[in-house]
A and B are shown apart, each in its own frame.
Chain A
Amino acid sequence: MMTTSSARPEIAAIQSYEFGQSRKPLDAVAKLVVGAVGTPNQQQLAHEMAALLSSGATLEAKRFACRQLAVIATEAQTAAIAPYLLDEDLSDMARYALQPVAGDAVDRALIDALAKANDDQAIGIATTLGARRTDRAVASLKKRAASGNAAVARAAIAALGRIGTPRAARALTSLNDHVAAERKYDVANALLLAASTLVAEGKGERAEAIYEDLVAPEHSDSVRKAAFLGLVRTGGLQDPETWRARLDQDPVLREAAAGYLRHAADRYVTLAEQQTAR
């Protein structure tokens, strides 16, 4: 079996690890990793853990390495980890390693991988870009959002919602003209998610425009109610006489309004409100 050039006995000891064996060698490495975080040893140890991925180590050992890389890797390990985003066995764990690592290099690697990934891998990569809120990935995600594979499209749409920047919101809005009818429900929910982020980040005006669109009768009841609640919370109910008449004719929005009044739970609930309350 090919091994890494690491001189560390602890790392050498895990290369043949298989499930069912004693976990003690893994714990020894995990202890090294935690001890190295924030020290001058971090880079070298991260390099050695990343090198395991291209070694002859067992799949179990490589998965374990990815878990440790999630703790210790920096941008400097991106090039060593990124190829495994497209690996049949390790794509998910490569994301596990990279998702928490800050830096443009990681974002670029994920965007590059998304362009080349098969459908299964694309779902995960899109999700990770969403979790990282990678605004520069919006165009790539928008392409995937129009995929004929429903799961890929939904993951990309959800990722755009989670990114929640004005650019992501615009991409979602424009998607309505390009996606299949059954995806419009997903786009609407992603827009609601994006709108809540926009509100939290002081872009309430943009959010209000989204809510105004989503209260329209062509959307599902749950989307319409959520959009109405969004308008209430952002102070977007302009022109009271019009709204009064509208609610009078619209049982869905009326139910949302009545529920809001009774649901005494509107303080210190969202992160934005917590921060405002400080």
Chain B
Amino acid sequence: MADTPESTSPDQGISRRSFLKRSTAAAAGAVAFPYIIPASALGADGHVAPSNRIVMGCIGVGSQGTGNMKGFLNFNECQVVAVCDVDRAHRHNARDVVNQRYGNNDCADYNDFRELLDRDDLDVVSIAVPDHWHAIPAIAAAKRGLDIYAEKPLALTIREGRAMVDTMHRYGTVWQTGSWQRSRANFHRGAELVRNGRIGQVHTVEVGLPTGSAIEPQPEMPIPDGFDYDFWLGPAPDAPYTEKRCHWDFRWIFDYSGGQLTDWAAHHCDIANWGMGTEYTGPVSIKAKGEFPEDGIWNTAINYMLECRFAPGASPVAPDGFTMLVSNSFPMGCRWKGTEGEIFVDRGDTITAEPASVLDSVIGADEVHLYQSLDHAQNFFDCVRSRRQCVAPIAPAHHAIAIAHLGNIAMRLERELHWDPATETFVNDPEADRFLERAMRGPWHLYI
């Protein structure tokens, strides 16, 4: 598969001329599209003239969302004006953090994200809600013309992810996924070396993720004062309140997430795909084995091994196809194995190679240069202004997390599955297709 514009630097990987040529070709039978754009629409340097501050609303300000928000507050070019959370304690805390930062009491706080989105002063939103809530506010925000920084994993199901990708495409939304490893030098370097064939033809990628957990059955509990639990459940099936269902622990319950597998595949499978050039496709077969909690409300896999086979031609560095293994039995991180060596990357700026000399290799001017971002939030703000693609766009986020979803479905059905990445359906397997989407509890739906 040819390299894709999204995976190359907008400044280095694709020339303006070639992009215009492609745009024109895409509009076959029509006019030469660029011709109709007045020069006044394009700045002299090719960039849209920057506006003033980027006005942000933050939807979901629990631990992750507040952490993200504090990062945004460090940027003078961003002004947070509103926060939203169904837990009053969270949103009041976040509101106070914002007000303290700006030295005023101007930050508004909302229980309902729809009220925040109804404001007419927003440019962007940050979304950091539980996975089962990712799609609805993101699609609603895009419909209102807002750009989005959103947490991973992209979506609860493959169809929700597809709906999100198509929506952002439809509205021309600038999107940054919170898969911030793309903005770290070691991950970028490792992926770029792999993509340029420095370890030869890749036959295997080992993706190491964390081990899951179990918990004993939990009692129904009184809903804490100030916590809008019904709203928190949202589109998920109705269920009694218990503390270990909500906030951080939602990740371990299939109604709201997919376990450590989905939580971390959004990071390391994304990096694996980045290196392989498979950010816009997926495996064609998936075998998976998992060990699940024997009891209790947490029901996602504790131990797991996914064997995902990518077809010949899916990756430019694996002409014969390759296998991506995803498991908690590997060291955390991503290890690409090729005919001429291997490269391993992980957090803590880790990058190692066999032979070590691979790391000294220089990427030539005519080779693939992956999109380089030195700061994930800065990259988002830059792209909001320039209308360029962010370093972690939505389609690769979808394809990365689809690997984990496919693994969960294969574990659930206890058999090998065959997947068509072009149609995003299983091959002649309507029983498996049933797992691609779930009915939402009313009154919620994707396109509110």
Contact = CB atoms under 8 A, between A and B. Distances in A.
Interface of A: 19-24, 27, 34-35, 37-38, 63, 67, 70-71, 91-93, 95-96, 98-102, 120-121, 123-124, 127-128, 130-131, 151, 154-155, 158-159, 161-162, 189-190, 192-193, 196, 220-222, 225-226, 229-230, 232-240, 243-244, 247-248, 254-271, 274-275, 277-278
Contacts of B387: 258-259, 262-263
Contact of B172 (A121, A131, A151, A263): A263
A237 B33 contact: yes
Contacts of B437: 99-100, 131
B441 A232 contact: no
Contacts of A260: 23, 172
Contact of A100 (B5, B434, B445, B448): B434
Nearest to A89: B238
Nearest to A19: B240
A196 B435 CA distance: 24
B298 to A, nearest CB: 10
Contacts of B341: none
B434 A270 contact: no
A267 B281 CA distance: 12
Contacts of B170: 192-193, 196, 226, 229-230
A245 B8 CA distance: 34
Interface stretch (B70-78, B105-113, B124-132, B212-220): B212-220
B52 to A, nearest CB: 16
B37 A264 contact: no
Contacts of A128: 439
Residue from the set A63, A131, A225, A256 with the largest chain B CB neighbour count within 10 Å? A131
B322 to A, nearest CB: 19
A92 B5 contact: no
A230 to B, nearest CB: 7
A277 B314 CA distance: 12
Given A158-B446, A271-B166, A222 B143 contact: yes
B356 interface: no
A225 B29 contact: no
Interface string B152-176: 0000000000100110011110100
Given A193-B170, A262-B388, A63 B237 contact: yes
A38 B429 CA distance: 10
A22 to B, nearest CB: 5
Nearest to A252: B145
Interface string B124-155: 00000000000000000011110000000000
Contacts of B42: 258, 261
Contacts of B447: 158, 161-162, 189-190, 193
A222 B144 contact: yes
Contacts of A238: 30-31
Contact of B6 (A22, A92, A255, A264): A264
Contacts, number: 239
Given A102-B430, A237-B36, A259-B387, A93 B30 contact: no
B440 interface: yes
B295 A266 contact: no
Contact of B442 (A35, A91, A193): A91
Contacts of A24: 294-295
B47 to A, nearest CB: 8
Interface string B415-445: 0000001111000001101110111111101
A72 to B, nearest CB: 9
B442 A92 contact: yes
Nearest to A124: B442
Mostly, the B contact residues are loop
A225 B147 CA distance: 13
Interface string B216-250: 01111000000000000000011110100000000
Nearest to B146: A222
Q: 4 closest A-B pairs (Cβ-Cβ)?
A: A222-B145, A235-B30, A124-B442, A100-B434
Interface string B27-41: 111111111111011
B19 interface: yes
A93 B170 CA distance: 32
Given A230-B170, A262-B48, A257 B37 contact: yes
Nearest to A60: B240
Nearest to B412: A34
Interface string B383-403: 000111100010100000000
Contacts of B171: 222, 225-226, 229
Given A67-B237, A121-B442, 8 more contacts: A189-B447, A196-B170, A221-B145, A236-B30, A254-B40, A264-B5, A266-B5, A271-B166
A268 B4 contact: yes
A254 B239 contact: no
A258 B26 contact: no
Contacts of B10: 262, 264
Contacts of A162: 446-447
Nearest to B47: A262
A158 B172 contact: no
Given A263-B172, A268-B280, A99 B36 contact: no
Given A102-B430, A189-B447, A23 B421 contact: no
A122 B170 CA distance: 28
17 contacts: A20-B242, A63-B238, A92-B439, A96-B438, A120-B443, A124-B440, A128-B439, A162-B447, A222-B143, A237-B33, A243-B36, A247-B38, A257-B36, A263-B388, A264-B14, A265-B169, A268-B395
Contacts of A155: 443, 445
Given A155-B443, A278-B422, A20 B220 contact: yes
B351 interface: no
Contact of B35 (A229, A244, A255): A244
B31 A240 contact: yes
Contact of A270 (B142, B165, B448): B165
B334 interface: no
B358 to A, nearest CB: 29
B133 to A, nearest CB: 16
A266 B165 CA distance: 12
B141 to A, nearest CB: 10
B31 A124 contact: no
